[in-house]
Amino acid sequence: MALRSKQQTLAAPISCSGTGVHSGKEATLTIKPAPENHGIRFFRTDLPGTQGIPALFSRVVDTSLATVIGENGIIVSTIEHLMASFAGMGIDNARVELDNYEMPIMDGSAAVFSQKIKEAGIIVQAAPRSHFIVTHPIEIADGDKFVGVYPDEDFRITCTIEFPNPLIGRQTISILLDDDSFLTKIAPARTFGFLHEVEFMKQMGLGRGGSLESAVVVSGDSIINEEGLRFPDEFVRHKLLDCIGDFSLIGMPIRGHIKTIKSGHLFNHHFITEFFKNRRCWETMTPSES
């Protein structure tokens, strides 16, 4: 798949409303087209006069339950599903407006965001689209957690998860990321949790917006959701979705193959930090330069 040589934005604004999965607060999200070299920026419309927060790893302030970015005391929480949609659908520039601090969880996947982007349409802009070209491997490991990136002609992600649960076990998925594969194979995969964890989070005042409409809930060897799974391996597909969102915070598309094993938001963030420490292992260029 040839890398896009030009930046892209939405052809028209899109909007949706829903509940924050952790806060339980209602929020309205509006995404507007943005000019070249604007990048993805989040604006809190409930806090007039505040500056936009760039969607970059350097602005990440918390990864305990979700990916949270912040600046000057202003935060936007749970951005990973929307960021995955931007990366998966090829959106480089967008103004994201939110009237609360946490993104609406919708159905627990990236399907709503991605489908709305598709329906709005995409505009190719004149400015060139730069890429990180991986030239040498970069790897980090901590116990059984692992993230690495390797040279490749395209952008691929291979994700492996493992849970001591008979419904999940060890699952691996590998994808060459493009608009169609993301929209149909990854975006619909929902976040998931275990019933005992959900009950504990509720007791701790967390997960206030979680429900069977916004997550797959596992109890023992059963799925509580009446409709069951959307994919036999929906669990690993969703973890790959999270990875796409987290790695998009590098700031530019990658030409390389990312491999993760039992990683999460925090370890993905550690990897991005390591990525920028290893300047000799990558270079930046546009497809026309290469």
Annotated ligand binding at 136? The verdict is no
Q: DSSP characters for 258-279?
A: EEEES--HHHHHHHHHHHHH-G
- Taking CA 98 as the corner, what is the angle to CA 93 and CA 103, rounded to the nearest 5 degrees? 95
State how far the alpha carbon of 24 is from the alpha carbons of 10, 19, 197, 214, 263, in Å. 29, 6, 17, 12, 26
Question: CA nearest 145: which of 239, 21, 18, 58?
Answer: 239
Token duo for residue 256: 């390389």
Annotated ligand binding at 270? The verdict is no
Q: Of the listed 22, 131, 265, 269, which one is catalytic? A: 265
Annotated ligand binding at 179? The verdict is no
257 assigned to active site = no
Helix axes of 80-89 and 111-120: crossing angle, nearest 10 degrees: 40
Question: CA nearest 134: which of 261, 221, 259, 37?
Answer: 259
Residues that constitute the known binding site for Zn(2+): 81, 238, 242
Residue positions annotated with a catalytic role: 265
Residues that constitute the known binding site: 81, 238, 242
